Chains A and B, each alone.
Chain A
Amino acid sequence: MAAGDGFEVVADEEGDLCGHGTACAGIVRQLAPECSLHSVRVLGAGYTGSGDVLLAGLRWAIEQGFDVVNMSISTTKSKFATVLHELADSAYFGRTILCASAHNLAVESYPWRFSSVISVGSHEEADPRLLYANPTPPVEFFARGVDLDVAWPGGGTLRCTGNSFATPHVAGLCALALAKHPHLTPFQVKHLLYLTAANVRGGTR
Chain B
Amino acid sequence: MTDQPRAAVAAGVLPDEAQHRALLQSIVEAARAIFSAGAASIFLHDEETDELVFEAATGEGGGELVGSRIPSGTGIAGWVLVTRQPLVLSDLANDPRFARDVAEKTGYVPSALMAVPLLHDERALGVLQVLDSREDGRSGLEEMDLLGLFASQAAIALDLLRGARRARAVIEGGGGDIDAVTALATTVEALDGERRDAGVALLRALELVLRPS
Chain A interface (Cβ within 8 Å of chain B)?
17-20, 43-48, 50, 72-78, 101, 103-109, 122, 124, 146-147, 152-154, 156-165
Q: Are B75 and A18 in touch, CB under 8 angstroms? A: yes
Q: B95 at interface (Cβ–Cβ under 8 A)?
A: yes
Can you pick out 26 interface pairs between chain A and chain B where the beta carbons lie within 8 Å of each other?
A18-B73, A18-B75, A43-B73, A43-B78, A45-B73, A46-B73, A47-B45, A47-B50, A47-B82, A50-B82, A73-B82, A76-B121, A76-B123, A104-B148, A106-B152, A122-B141, A146-B139, A146-B140, A147-B140, A154-B96, A154-B97, A158-B92, A160-B87, A161-B140, A162-B85, A162-B87
Q: A18-B74, A73-B83 are in contact. Are A48 and B88 (CB under 8 A)?
A: no
Distance of B82 from chain A, by nearest CB (Å):
5
Q: Interface SS of chain B: helix, strand, loop or mixed? A: mixed
Residues of A within 8 A of B84 (CB): 73-76, 103, 109
Q: Are B141 and A47 in touch, CB under 8 angstroms? A: no
Distance of A195 from chain B, by nearest CB (Å):
25
Across the interface, A164 reaches (CB within 8 A) one of B71, B75, B85, B97, namely B85
B120 — nearest CB in chain A belongs to which residue?
A: A107
Distance of B44 from chain A, by nearest CB (Å):
12
Residues of B within 8 A of A77 (CB): 122-123
Q: Are B72 and A46 in touch, CB under 8 angstroms? A: yes
Sample of 6 more A-B contacts, CB < 8 Å, known A46-B73, A107-B121, A147-B140: A43-B73, A47-B82, A48-B47, A75-B84, A107-B119, A154-B95
Q: Which of B54-104 contact A (CB under 8 A)?
A: 71-76, 78-79, 81-92, 94-97
Q: Are A158 and B95 in touch, CB under 8 angstroms? A: yes
Distance of A68 from chain B, by nearest CB (Å):
19
Across the interface, B88 reaches (CB within 8 A) one of A47, A78, A101, A161, namely A161
Chain B interface (Cβ within 8 Å of chain A)?
45, 47, 50, 71-76, 78-79, 81-92, 94-97, 116-117, 119-124, 139-141, 143-145, 148, 151-152
Q: Are B91 and A158 in touch, CB under 8 angstroms? A: yes
Residues of A within 8 A of B151 (CB): 105
Residues of A within 8 A of B74 (CB): 17-18, 44
Q: Interface SS of chain A: helix, strand, loop or mixed? A: loop
Q: Are A103 and B82 in touch, CB under 8 angstroms? A: no
Residues of B within 8 A of A43 (CB): 73, 78-79, 82-83
A156–B90 CA distance with the chains assembled, in angstroms = 13
A148 — nearest CB in chain B belongs to which residue?
A: B140
A46–B119 CA distance with the chains assembled, in angstroms = 17
Q: Are A20 and B124 in touch, CB under 8 angstroms? A: no
Q: Are A47 and B86 in touch, CB under 8 angstroms? A: no
Q: Are B73 and A162 in touch, CB under 8 angstroms? A: no
A105–B128 CA distance with the chains assembled, in angstroms = 13
A122–B122 CA distance with the chains assembled, in angstroms = 24
A29–B97 CA distance with the chains assembled, in angstroms = 23
Q: Tell me which of A78, A106, A162 has the highest count of chain B C-beta atoms within 10 A of its own C-beta.
A: A162
A47–B77 CA distance with the chains assembled, in angstroms = 11
A81 — nearest CB in chain B belongs to which residue?
A: B122
Q: Are B91 and A72 in touch, CB under 8 angstroms? A: no
Q: Are B148 and A162 in touch, CB under 8 angstroms? A: no
Q: Are A47 and B91 in touch, CB under 8 angstroms? A: no
Q: Are A18 and B90 in touch, CB under 8 angstroms? A: no
Distance of A170 from chain B, by nearest CB (Å):
15
Across the interface, B73 reaches (CB within 8 A) one of A17, A72, A107, A147, namely A17
Residues of A within 8 A of B116 (CB): 105
Q: Are B139 and A44 in touch, CB under 8 angstroms? A: no
B83 — nearest CB in chain A belongs to which residue?
A: A73
Q: Are B87 and A164 in touch, CB under 8 angstroms? A: yes
Q: Are A159 and B152 in touch, CB under 8 angstroms? A: no
Residues of A within 8 A of B119 (CB): 76, 105, 107, 109
* Closest A-B pairs by Cβ, 4 of them: A162-B87, A161-B88, A146-B140, A47-B72
Distance of A51 from chain B, by nearest CB (Å):
9
